Amino acid sequence: MTLDAIDKKLLFLLQSDSKKTTKELSLKLNLSVTAVYERIKKLEREGIIDKYVVLVNRSKIEKGFVVFCHLKLIQHTKEFLTKFESEVVKLKEVLECHHVSGDYDYILKIVVKDMEAYREFLVTKLTTLQHIGSTHSTFMISEVKNTTVVDI
């Protein structure tokens, strides 16, 4: 599917605030409500709009301590990778897990209440997973930029 300028603007508006009504969007795009509705449905059908979510203020729910954990596996066999991945996705503290190149195999973004909670998570959950060789934790001091808007 080729996106035109209106599709791109529509996607920007939805990424900025997906609760905008089709009427509000139609006014910003100079289109009818029906035209906006049809464009949104087409973007959903094509899989360009994947899902709608709510972003939670982590500090308000005592999950403001952010850790980036670099992790090495002891071996890089398909069996070890798939086993690790199937286990790590079950950990509710892990928001993101990326298989990466370089010195480490994975980078995890973990949110917990504080350092004590992170230690507990590390000792009782993360390091109990099989095939982990080493971990290296980096703690967020401040969040300079955090966006979910993808430039199209």
pLDDT one digit per residue (tens) for the chain, 152 residues: 899 999 999 999 999 999 999 999 999 999 999 999 999 999 999 999 999 999 999 999 999 999 999 999 998 889 999 999 999 999 999 999 999 999 999 999 999 999 999 999 999 999 999 899 999 999 999 999 999 999 99
- Rounded CA-CA distance 123/95 in Å is 18
Tokens of 111: 């949110």
Determine whether 82 is exposed, middle or buried from the number of CB atoms within 10 Å of its CB (0-12, 13-18, 19+): exposed
pLDDT of residue 76: 87
Tokens of 47: 């899989």
pLDDT of residue 123: 96
pLDDT of residue 74: 93
Query: What is the pTM (predicted TM-score) of this model?
Result: 0.90
- Rounded CA-CA distance 41/35 in Å is 10
- Rounded CA-CA distance 24/29 in Å is 9
Q: What is the DSSP string of 55-96?
A: ---GGGGT--EEEEEEEEES---HHHHHHHHHHHTT-TTEEE
Asked if residue 84 lies in contact with residue 137, where contact means CB atoms within 8 angstroms, the answer is: no
Helix (H, G, I), strand (E, B) or coil at 133: strand
Asked if residue 131 lies in contact with residue 80, where contact means CB atoms within 8 angstroms, the answer is: yes
pLDDT of residue 1: 86
pLDDT of residue 78: 92
Asked if residue 107 lies in contact with residue 100, where contact means CB atoms within 8 angstroms, the answer is: yes
